[in-house]
A = this chain, B = another copy of it.
Amino acid sequence: MSQNPIRIGVIGAGRIGKIHAENLATRIPNAQVAAIADVILSAAQETAHRLHIPKAIADYHEILQDDQIDAVAICSSTDTHARIITEAAQAGKHIFCEKPIDHDLRKIDEALAAVEKAGVKLQIGFNRRFDPNFRKVRTMIAEGKIGDLHILRITSRDPAPPPIDYIKVSGGIFLDMTIHDFDMARYLSGSEVEEVFVAGGVMVDKRIGEAGDIDTAVITLRFASGAIGTIDNSRQAVYGYDQRVEAFGSGGMVAVANNTPDTHVYSNAEGVHSAKPLYFFLERYTESFINEMKEFVEAIQKNTLPPVTGIDGRIPVLIGKAAWKSYHEHRPVKLCEVE
C-alpha cells in the first residue's frame, strides 16, 4: 500500500478493453489508468470520461512514449498483438496482453524474443486461471488431494456462436474458443500436452461450416505425465455458458460446477427448478478479470514472474494448430508435428 501505484496505459477500448480499464481504475488499489487509446478516438474518450482517465488518444504510440507510464494492457485486435508487444517491450513497458498473442508461431516467437531482450514482464490474458472454481481444482491437484491425475475433463460450451464474420478471421474454434481450454488443461494438470485427437463437426449452424470452421468438438489430450484429458466444446448451449471441470485421480476426484446468479430452488407441481448458469464470460468471469489484473500489478511491484507467461501464451496456439491438423487428417497428432 505504501508503494506508488502502477501507471497503466490501456490500448484498445472495445469490450475487453473497457473491462480492464474499469477494473484497473476502480478495483485495483495499486493501479492507475494513465491513458486509454483506441483507433476510434470517441471510444477511448467515452471510457476515459466515465472512469476519470486523464488522457484519451487515438494512437497508442503516445502511451509507449510516455515516461510516466509503467505498463500497457493490450486489448486491441488480435492481429496487432504481436507488433504492439514488441514495440512496448522496446519502450521498456511491462505488458499485459489479451489472448491469443497471434495465430502465427513465428510472430509469437519474435514478440517473446523482444520481451526477453527488454527484460520486461509479459502476462497473457488467460483469465480463467484466476477463477475461484478452477483455482480450487488446481490447488487441490497440486496439493495431491486426488493423488496422481488420471483423467481430466473440461466442458466448455458457449451460450451462442459469435458472428460469422468473426469466425472467418478468428482462426476457428480451436484458436478463438478452445484455446482457453488448452490453457486450462496445462494449468490444471501441471503437465504438458503431447498429443491431440479431435472428433468434431458442424451441428449448430451450417454457416459456420461454410466459413471453414466447426461448432462442436470432443478433443482427447495426452499429457506428458501419462494422464488423459478430454475437452468438449459447443458453440451453443441453449441453457447458457457451461464451464465445468472434473479431475479424477488415484486418490479421488474434484469437480466444479457452473456459477449461477442465485441459489434459489423452486418446487411446484411441474417439478423442481433452479437458476441457469451465468449467461456468458462477462458475468461468469467478472472476478477472474479483476484477479488477473491484481496479480499482474503485483508481479510488477514485487518483481516476480507473472502468473501467465509468454510461453503460456504460445503453447495453446500450438495445441490449437495440432487440433486442426488432427481434425483434418482424422488421426491423433503430436505437438512436435506442428512445431
Query: Which A residues lie at the B interface, using CB under 8 A?
Result: 1, 26-27, 29, 50, 132-133, 135-137, 140, 145-148, 150-151, 153, 157, 197, 199-201, 203-204, 216-218, 220, 222, 226-228, 230, 232, 234, 236-240, 242, 248, 250-259, 261-269, 271-276, 330-332
Contacts and interface: CB of A to CB of B under 8 A. Distances in A.
Counting from the closest, the 9 A-B pairs by CB-CB distance are A252-B268, A239-B267, A257-B263, A26-B26, A132-B262, A136-B262, A238-B269, A136-B264, A218-B228
A271 to B, nearest CB: 5
Contacts of A266: 140, 145-146, 252-254
B220 A197 contact: yes
Interface centre among A242, A251, A255, A266 (most CB of B within 10 A): A266
A250 B253 CA distance: 29
Given A151-B218, A238-B269, A259-B263, 11 more contacts: A140-B264, A145-B268, A203-B250, A230-B230, A237-B267, A239-B252, A239-B253, A255-B265, A258-B263, A271-B273, A331-B331
Contacts of A200: 228
A230 to B, nearest CB: 6
B272 A264 contact: no
Count identical subunits in the complex: 4
B232 A151 contact: yes
A50 B228 CA distance: 47
A199 B216 contact: no
A268 B116 CA distance: 44
A228 B216 contact: yes
A63 to B, nearest CB: 23
A133 B248 contact: no
A322 to B, nearest CB: 15
A225 to B, nearest CB: 10
Given A26-B27, A218-B151, A251 B268 contact: yes
A133 B264 contact: yes
Contact of A263 (B151, B248, B256): B256
B157 A216 contact: no
Given A230-B232, A250-B204, A268-B239, A263 B133 contact: yes
B157 A239 contact: no
A337 to B, nearest CB: 14
B218 A201 contact: no
